[in-house]
Structure 1
C-alpha cells in the first residue's frame, strides 16, 4: 500500500474508548450520526492506477459512486478533487496541496460537530463508521488500524474542534494525513475488518469486479487526481 503511514511501527489497538479529552463530552453513536459530516478525498496522483481513481469503474460503477452511495443518507458530505465528479466537490486553493490541505478544504464546506475522513480508493470504508462512532468516546479522533497494525488516517472520525486544532498545528500544504493523528491529544484505535483496504492498481481492483480505466484528461499539466491521497 502506497499511502503514507502515520507511524513506522504497528500500533496497539485500544480495547475501549478513552476518558474524555479536557473539555470534551463523551459521545454515543446516536449523537455522532446525528451531527456527522463526511470528507471524501477523491484525488491522489493515481500513478499506479494509471487513471483518475475516482472515475475508474468496477462492474460499471465509478469508485466515487460506490463509496458515495454507501454513506448514511442524512449526512452532509463533500468530495475533494481537482475535477468535477457529479457530486458536491471542492478543491484546495491552490490545488494539489496534499492530504491535510484536502481535508481542510472539505472541512470548510461542513459545519457538523463530527467529521469522518474517508478516501475514494477505499470504497468499502464507510462500513467502519459505526465502529468508529461507537468507540470514540471522549477522544479527539478514532482511527482504523489495518491488519498489518498500521493506522489508516484516511479512515477516521474526528471531533470537528479537535480536527481544526490539529490542522492549525500541522499546517495544511504538503502535510501527510498521519501528522494529524500525532497532533491530537487522544486517539482511540479501532481494529479494521478489511473494509478499510485501499486499492492502488487495476490488478488489485479486479478482486472487486471488472475494471475499466476509461479516458482521463490532465489538469493544468498535472496528472488528474494530484490532490488528497498522496
Structure 2
C-alpha cells in the first residue's frame, strides 16, 4: 500500500529512457509564443498582465540593480506553477516532488544572489555574517552560525517546495482512493465524500500556484540582502 502511494513520485521510464526531461520541457509548449502583433489574443493578454503584476509586486522593494532579474523570476514562477498544476492531471508526473530537481533549481539561483552581492556590495554582504552588537567572545560562534544559515538557504527552498507538493499529492491520493472504495461498497457514502475530493483538488491548484509564488518571493528576499 505504501509503495503504491509513493510510486507516483518515481521518475517514469519508457523503454529504459527517463521521461523527466520531457516532463520538464512540456509546460513551455503550452505557453503562448512571443508575437509582434499590435493586438494579442485574450490568453496572451492575461499572461502579460500576470507577468506585469507579479514583477511589480515582487521587485517593488528591490533596488534598480535587481530589476534585471524580472524576466528570470517571472519565468521561474510560471515554470514551477505549470509543473505543479500539470502534475495534478491523471497519469502525469510531478518533477517538483523530487528533491534533486528542486535543489538543481534552487542552488544556482541562490548562488547568483550571493555572487551579485559580493560583486556590488561585498562589505554589506560579509557584514550579514556578523549581527551588529554581537559580544566579542561570541563573534566566532555567530560567524559559523550565520554562515551555516546562509548555506542552508537553497536546501530550505528545495525542501519546502518538495514537502508541500508531496504532502498535497499524498492527501489527494488517499482521499480519492478512499472515495473510490466507498463508491464501490457504499455508493451513498461515496457520493457524500465526492465533493470533498473536488474541493481538495481545487485547493491543490491554489497550493500549486502559492508554492511557486513563495519560492520566488524567498528568492527576492535573499536579493534584498545583497542588492541595495
Q: TM-score range by the shorter chain?
A: under 0.3
Bigger CA radius of gyration:
2
Q: TM-score, normalized by length of structure 2? A: 0.23
- Answer 1 or 2: which has greater strand percent: 1
**Larger RCO (alpha carbons 8 Å, 6+ apart):** 1
> Which of the two has greater helix per residue?
2
Structure-1-length-normalised TM-score: 0.23
